[in-house]
Amino acid sequence: MKGDWLLQTQPTMIEWLGKNAGYISAIIGCLSLVLWKPLSLVRKRKKARILAEKSAEAEFKETVLHELSTIKKMFRVTNDEVAQLQCDRLFQAHDYYMDKGYCSTERKQFLCEMFQAYHDKGLNHLSAYYQEDLLKLPDKPPKSSA
């Protein structure tokens, strides 16, 4: 009995759709004309917004990379200047303690750490020999015979 109702409604629905197909097509056509332009404008605006965001992001990345490059250059210059000051200080210390004839254990340790920091920068030229000279010096001043 339930199946009979379905069989009875199907032909009437098909007939109704057949009669009203023109109206349905006209309504769908009108809706598409009315809605198409606003929807395409929304799509265009979204696409333009995405392109603007990508452009802004690319510009930001370029600015950051440029600034990073500038910072790296400044760091290299500062690092080189510190290395020059370290070198000068090591040479001064070498000359001072060699003239003095001795160097305390604490000063030797401090200067060895400075030599190591200088060496870690990839610089070494004469400082290795200077370190050896300082390490050979006695820890206390020589006793003078009076």
Of residues 118, 48, 66, 69, the one with CA closest to residue 89: 118
Residues 103, 109: Cα–Cα separation, whole Å: 10
Q: Binning pLDDT at 50, 70 and 90, where does residue 25 land?
A: confident
Q: Does residue 8 fall inside a structural domain?
A: no
Q: What is the pLDDT of residue 70?
A: 95
Q: Does residue 56 fall inside a structural domain?
A: yes
> Secondary structure of the chain: what % helix, strand, coil (to 5)?
85, 0, 15
Q: Does residue 3 fall inside a structural domain?
A: no
pTM as predicted: 0.53
Q: What is the pLDDT of residue 117?
A: 85
Q: Which domain holds residue 84?
A: 23-136
Looking at the predicted structure, is the pLDDT value of residue 69 above 90? yes
More confident residue, 21 or 79: 79
Percentage with pLDDT > 90 across the chain: 36
Q: Tell me how many domains the chain contains.
A: 1
Q: pLDDT, tens digit, for every residue of 98-116?
A: 999 999 999 999 998 988 8
- Would you say the C-alpha torsion 119, 120, 121, 122 has a positive or negative sign? positive
